[in-house]
């Protein structure tokens, strides 16, 4: 029986990041997906349950969301949502076999970040204009 001098599967102790930008985009895509599923769902359900619980509960939650901290949380959620959407489109392109060379990986990563920032700002401009 052969012994292996190193682990058979890569893990954080032996895995070297190929490029910092593309690796960080991949890691943040997964982390932001978890944030969307946990914190985003919690804040959305808090809002829905408060609406079903009566006017005083709904006003309390709306009051929190209307503070500077509530706006900060909602803006952060918006950025996470659009980043995950844009990077998800990037992953769908990879499923077709497009964009695996390093220049394209860097370019599509920059496009995903720029698009997420632009869409977040546009969504907030439209939302605040509707108030």
> From the first residue on, what is the mean pLDDT of each consecutive set of 10 residues in the chain (131 residues)?
58 61 87 94 95 97 96 95 96 91 91 97 97 86
What length is written for the chain?
131
What integer pLDDT is reported at residue 107 of this predicted model? 94
* Cα-only R_g, the chain: 20
Domains of the chain: 21-129 (1.20.1300.10)
Tokens of 125: 């401009």
Residue 131 confidence (pLDDT): 86
Whether pTM > 0.75 for this model: the answer is yes
pLDDT at 18: 60
Q: Residue 2 has what DSSP assignment?
A: P
Q: Which of 32, 127, 128, 38 is nearest to 82 (CA)?
A: 32
Using an 8 Å Cβ cutoff, are 35 and 80 in contact? yes
Picking from 63, 77, 55, the residue whose alpha carbon sits closest to that of residue 124 is 77
CB 112 within 8 A of CB 88: no
Q: Mutual orientation of helices 41-53 and 55-65 as an angle, nearest 10°? A: 150
Q: What are phi and psi of 43, to 5 degrees?
A: -65, -35
- Let me know the angle formed at the C-alpha of 107 by 101 and 112, rounded to the nearest 5 degrees: 120
Which residue in this structure is represented by tokens 């844009």? 86
């Amino acid at each position: 029986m052969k012994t292996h001098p190193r682990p058979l599967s890569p893990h954080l102790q032996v895995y070297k990041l190929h490029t910092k930008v593309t690796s960080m985009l991949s890691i943040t895509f997964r982390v932001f997906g978890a944030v969307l599923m946990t914190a985003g769902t919690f804040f959305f359900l808090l809002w829905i349950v408060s609406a079903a619980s009566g006017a005083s509960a709904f006003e309390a939650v709306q009051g929190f969301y209307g503070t500077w901290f509530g706006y900060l949380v909602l803006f952060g959620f918006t950025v996470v949502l659009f980043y995950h959407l844009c990077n998800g489109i990037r992953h769908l392109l990879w499923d077709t076999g497009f964009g695996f060379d390093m220049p394209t990986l860097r370019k599509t990563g920059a496009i995903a970040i720029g698009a997420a920032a632009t869409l977040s700002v546009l969504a907030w401009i439209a939302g605040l204009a509707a108030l």
